[in-house]
Amino acid sequence: MTATLIDGKQVAAALRESVAVRTAGLPYRPGLAVVLVGEDPASSVYVRNKDRAANAAGIAARTLRLPAETTEAALLATIAALNADAEVDGILVQLPLPAHIRSRAVIEAIDPDKDVDGFHPINVGRLYDGTAALVPCTPLGVMKLLAHAGVALRGKRAVVLGRSAIVGKPVAALLTAADATVTVAHSRTADLAAECRRADILVAAVGRAELVRGDWIAPGAVVIDVGINRLGDRLVGDVAFDEAAAVAGAITPVPGGVGPMTIACLLENTLTAAVARRG
C-alpha cells in the first residue's frame, strides 16, 4: 500500500470533541429531535447511535418513535409541534419513511432553520448559491476529510461518482464552491473508468461493491469512498480498496472513513442551528 490512510474515525472523534467543548460553553443545551416512524432495524440502530453521540456531546437529544401506521397528517402535526418548540434546534426525520407517507411533504414541512439534514429545498438552494448554513451531513463529512488530509482543491479535477440528492449532488456543489473543476458521473456515463482516471480527487458514492478498480485511479489521486455495501459477511466500499491503495496518494477505508463523519457532522449542524437561533 502506498496511499496515506485518511482515518475518518479519528477525524470524527476530534469533531465530536470539538462540538462537546463548544456546546459546554453555551448557556443552554442545544436540542435535537429525531423522528423515527416504524421499526426498520437498520434505522433503529442509526437512530440509537445518533441519540447516544448527541447526548455525549452535550446535546439534548430525544427520539420520537412513532408506529409504522402513523398517518402523514399526524407526522406533519408532529413536525409542526417540533418547529414551534423553542427547546428544539434540530429536527431529523429518519428515512426511509413508510410508503404511505410522502417523504418530500415531510422534508418540506421542517423549519429550514432546524433542518439539520440539509434536505429542505431552501437549504438545497442555499447550498447552490453559496449561502448554506446547514449542509447535508455526509457531503460535509467528505469535505472535512479532504481538509484534514490537507488536500488542495483549487484548480484540481474532481470526479464525483453518483448524483443522488443526499450525497453526489451536494458533494459536487461543495467541491465546485471550493474551486475544483467537477465532473459528475452516473449510471449513464459512457466510460466511467476513463472519467475516473482524469481525477485528482475521486469521490465514489454509487452503492456498488468495489466498482472502482485500481486501474481506474490516477497515480497519487485522493480517493474518498462513501459507499457502504455488504459483500458476504464484510462491509466494503464502492472502491476495491487494496488495488486502489496501491496507486492512490490517499484513501479512506470502509468502514472507518466517511461513515463516522456523518454523525459527527450532524452534531455540528445541530450546534450551528442552535447558535444561529439562540446566539
Whole-number Å distance between alpha carbons of 215 and 240: 10
Would you say 88 or 223 has its CB closer to ligand NAP? 223
Specify the stretch interacting with ligand NAP by CB under 6 A; choose among 74-82, 99-107, 158-166, 239-247: 158-166
Specify the stretch interacting with ligand NAP by CB under 6 A; choose among 25-33, 37-45, 78-86, 258-266: 258-266
H helix intervals, the chain: 8-24, 41-56, 72-84, 103-109, 121-129, 137-148, 168-177, 192-197, 241-245, 259-278
Which residues, numbered 215-234, are part of the site for ligand NAP (CB under 6 A)? 226-229
H helix intervals, 66-135: 72-84, 103-109, 121-129
Residues, the chain: 279
- Using the rule CB under 6 A, which residue among 19, 91, 167, 274 binds ligand NAP? 167
Q: Are 180 and 156 in contact, with CB atoms under 8 Å apart?
A: yes
Query: Is there binding between residue 49 and ligand NAP (CB under 6 A)?
Result: no
- Using the rule CB under 6 A, which residue among 262, 269, 270, 272 binds ligand NAP? 262
- Using the rule CB under 6 A, which residue among 18, 44, 55, 164 binds ligand NAP? 164
Would you say 154 or 230 has its CB closer to ligand NAP? 230
Specify the stretch interacting with ligand NAP by CB under 6 A; choose among 9-17, 144-152, 163-171, 195-203: 163-171
Would you say 70 or 138 has its CB closer to ligand NAP? 138
Whole-number Å distance between alpha carbons of 242 and 3: 10
Cell of 12: 470524527
3-state SS, residue 212: strand
Active site residues: 50, 94, 117
Pairing of strands 234-236, 229-231: antiparallel
Query: Is there binding between residue 252 and ligand NAP (CB under 6 A)?
Result: no
Which residues, numbered 119-138, are part of the site for ligand NAP (CB under 6 A)? 138
Task: Give 123's Cβ-side CA count (13 Å radius).
Answer: 24
Query: Is there binding between residue 50 and ligand NAP (CB under 6 A)?
Result: no
Determine the size of the site formed for ligand NAP (CB under 6 A): 24
C-alpha distances in angstroms, 66 versus 47, 74, 92, 96, 101?
13, 10, 14, 14, 13
Query: Is there binding between residue 269 and ligand NAP (CB under 6 A)?
Result: no
Specify the stretch interacting with ligand NAP by CB under 6 A; choose among 23-31, 37-45, 173-181, 257-265: 257-265
Whole-number Å distance between alpha carbons of 7 and 67: 38
Summarize as ranges the residues that interact with ligand NAP (CB under 6 A): 138, 161-164, 166-168, 186-188, 192, 205-208, 211, 226-229, 258-259, 262
